[in-house]
Structure 1
Amino acid sequence: MYPLQGLKVLDFSHAGDGPTCGMMLAQAGANVVKIEPLKGDPFRYGLTAVAFYNANRNKRSLALNLQAVEGREIAHRLAASADIIMESFRPGVANKLGIGYSELDKINPRIIYCSVSGFGQTGPYRHKPAYDPAIHAMSGLMSVTGEAGRPPVRMPANVVGLPTAFLAAYGVLLAVISREKTGKGQLIDAAFFDTAVYFMASFVGYAYTGYIMPRMGSASPVFTPYQCFLSADRYVFVGVSNEKFWQAFCQALELDDLLTNTGYSSMEGRLANRDELVKIIAAALRKLPGDEIIKKLEAAGVPCAPVLEIPELLDDPQVVARQIFFDMDYPGVGKVKLANIPAWPSGIERIKNVRTPLLGEHTEEILRELGYDGTG
């Protein structure tokens, strides 16, 4: 028995983030139906296909034209017995398609309705189109990412959309627990912008001090040396955040002159003399192989890490030991590498993964369950 077994989910969301929330519910045993337009979720095709495969496994696919009366009728009949609705349209679009919360709540007052959007269902920006980079920009995240004197940089990893999906799943589960007590469903309004601004909370010290964090690349405004350095063959990260690590760092790499320099004897002094200190350390590390630096610093207990390339990451022994990735066959594509959900409870067996469905693969099956004789 899986935790969400018996719950029915209609997933109208598209792209990579809303569907990830639906996938997380499916991983916990929910019966998730991905409802797509007749041409399919645009993420099915091109370079985004791998993200699509990862976010839509363990679901069934129903191809449906919601702009047609018959399509809306099918959606309403499905909603009448559903527990959870997922959608990621721009605010107002779901209402126009007849699947908004206000309409489905009348059909099924126990429905838990989760909307995932760029800026949320309220506020002056609610109708703005939004992808991760736009949210990076408007949340201030991009203003502190990159290097001094150079343009702001977006983070290639999906550091806003996916966390929003995780928080949406958290909100859905809270609503499920609440419904057990009240018998009532409710609306979850998950927004990329809210997530990004929340992540920026550590920078709101500006409101108290007036300090604005500059763009510093991999470096830190409060510690040094605390950044990436180029070794003889690769980049490595070094994290010296206190005096214990400073002593160990200098001793491990035989930088005794730095230990005796009073200008570097405290973090305050090192920060005041950051530029010259970083130059000295960079020159010293440039002479040593990255593996040697890592070996010496790890032996000394100093936080450090190699900067791995993607091919190295896939074969990394920690990744393998934690079973983060697994392979799955997809028709016409072959094996695709997907990622397991982190932080899984020890007492719950992971569900056996079923590949992402083909477009409309289960349409007839689902319509038969509703009592239709044909394909609709």
Structure 2
Amino acid sequence: MRLLSRADGLVQNLAPGASARLGLSFADLSEKHPSLIICNISGYGQDGPYRDKKAYDLLIQSEAGLLSVTGTATEPAKVGISIADISAGSYAYSSILAALFERKRDSERRGRNIGISMLESMVEWMGFPMYYTYGDQPGPTPAGASHAAIYPYGPFETGKGTVMLGIQNEREWAKFCEIVLERPEMAMDERFCNNSLRVKNRDALREIICNAFATFSAEGILRRLDEAGIANAIVNDMQGVWNHPQLRARRRWTQIQTSAGTVPALFPPGMEPDGFKAQMGAVPEIGQHNEAILAELGMDKDI
């Protein structure tokens, strides 16, 4: 409790009801610490019929409908990172910052009680597919790594490597046929002459594109796409990201110390030479600052 007297905020992700049993609810703490900002992170919220359900990242992805729009029509797929955890953490972070600014403008410097639900955080990110289906409208068919409603927009194998490309309008489609495929007549093919038809006939178009790409490397296709002004990217693995030329050219990597030795770390986004200064010290070991914190609180270091 001594820490709270000097803290701006408290973040907790105990099971709903647990903080109240421990005397850590907003109602309990605000009496002694009226300026304290409390952020409660939970799976489904502090009330409602799902309050006590266990919540892990993949379970929240499922409940929020994310699995229904990823993967394919026959095989749903989760996102490859813990996106529900990250989403909830991002909303907790931004909400706490907003509460700090709000408290600063409050003449009484009153604290705030913030509730972050993993489910609500994830559903907020599902706005596009949700409104696509609003009013019982049919949703887009999951298309794996390809776009469900635009084609060609997705990954295509080459003779060596995989490229990602996206056609956004009919002008780009004509350029793609002329410069990349070297088949200008395809732009007016009755199967592919507008996006709706290309989506409808995507299997036939994919076969044509993959056959054309088969004799080229990924780098060769990327050069043609750049020449045609078609948005594109390489489909990297993690080694490709570690060695990404753009990150290296912008000097986005630094070295930091850990208990296991020196490791590379990416400067946080927003850290620019003329912006926020990056201050990334060594990663502290577990318990490294215990004695210093206890000393600040006037407590014996052996406690």
Flag whether TM exceeds 0.5 (same fold): yes
User: 1:344 deviation in Å?
Assistant: 4.3
1:375 corresponding residue in structure 2 = 302
Secondary structure at 1:335's aligned position in 2?
Answer: strand
1:46 corresponding residue in structure 2 = none
Secondary structure at 1:77's aligned position in 2?
Answer: coil
**Counterpart check, 1:252 vs 2:179:** yes
1:327 corresponding residue in structure 2 = 255
Counterpart code for 1:88: N
**Counterpart check, 1:180 vs 2:107:** no
1:21 corresponding residue in structure 2 = none
User: 1:340 deviation in Å?
Assistant: 2.9
For the 8 Å contact 2:72–2:144, the answer to whether it is kept is yes
1:30 corresponding residue in structure 2 = none
2:219 corresponding residue in structure 1 = 291
**Counterpart check, 1:206 vs 2:133:** yes
CA deviation profile, 1:315-374 (whole Å, cap 9, x unmatched): 11212234444331211x112333332234775542522223222211121111111234
**Larger CA deviation: 253-262 vs 172-181:** 253-262
Identity of aligned residues (%): 28
User: 1:235 deviation in Å?
Assistant: 1.2
Measured on the aligned residues, the alpha-carbon RMSD in Å equals 1.9
**Counterpart check, 1:169 vs 2:93:** yes
For the 8 Å contact 2:256–2:283, the answer to whether it is kept is no
User: 1:310 deviation in Å?
Assistant: 0.7
1:350 corresponding residue in structure 2 = 277
Distance (Å, rounded) in 2 between the aligned partners of 1:303 and 1:217? 19
**Larger CA deviation: 175-184 vs 248-257:** 248-257
1:137 corresponding residue in structure 2 = 62
For the 8 Å contact 2:222–2:232, the answer to whether it is kept is yes
1:266 corresponding residue in structure 2 = 194
* Match for residue 222 of structure 1 among 134, 137, 149: 149
For the 8 Å contact 1:324–1:342, the answer to whether it is kept is no
TM-score, scaled relative to structure 1: 0.74
Alignment of 1:27-106 (within 5 A): 76-106=1-31
Distance (Å, rounded) in 1 between the aligned partners of 2:171 and 2:42? 46
Secondary structure at 1:208's aligned position in 2?
Answer: coil
User: 1:142 deviation in Å?
Assistant: 0.8
Secondary structure at 2:212's aligned position in 1?
Answer: helix
User: 1:93 deviation in Å?
Assistant: 2.5
For the 8 Å contact 1:119–1:125, the answer to whether it is kept is yes
Distance (Å, rounded) in 2 between the aligned partners of 1:308 and 1:246? 25
Distance (Å, rounded) in 2 between the aligned partners of 1:155 and 1:255? 36
Aligned length: 299
Gaps of 5+ in 1: 1-75
User: 1:84 deviation in Å?
Assistant: 1.2
2:35 corresponding residue in structure 1 = 110
Gaps of 5+ in 2: none
Which structure is richer in relative contact order (CA contacts within 8 A, separation 6 or more)? 1
1:241 corresponding residue in structure 2 = 168
Secondary structure at 2:50's aligned position in 1?
Answer: coil
Distance (Å, rounded) in 2 between the aligned partners of 1:340 and 1:93? 37
Q: 1:293 to 1:153 in 2, by over 3 A?
A: same
User: 1:312 deviation in Å?
Assistant: 1.1
1:22 corresponding residue in structure 2 = none
1:281 corresponding residue in structure 2 = 209
Distance (Å, rounded) in 2 between the aligned partners of 1:349 and 1:268? 45
CA deviation profile, 1:102-150 (whole Å, cap 9, x unmatched): 3222220100111222222232222222221111111000111112322
Distance (Å, rounded) in 1 between the aligned partners of 2:22 and 2:92? 22
2:263 corresponding residue in structure 1 = 336
User: 1:311 deviation in Å?
Assistant: 0.7
**Larger CA deviation: 178-187 vs 119-128:** 119-128
Q: 1:163 to 1:223 in 2, by over 3 A?
A: same
Distance (Å, rounded) in 2 between the aligned partners of 1:91 and 1:353? 35
TM-score, scaled relative to structure 2: 0.91
1:308 corresponding residue in structure 2 = 236
Q: 1:121 to 1:345 in 2, by over 3 A?
A: farther
Distance (Å, rounded) in 1 between the aligned partners of 2:63 and 2:249? 38
For the 8 Å contact 1:263–1:273, the answer to whether it is kept is yes
For the 8 Å contact 1:84–1:113, the answer to whether it is kept is yes
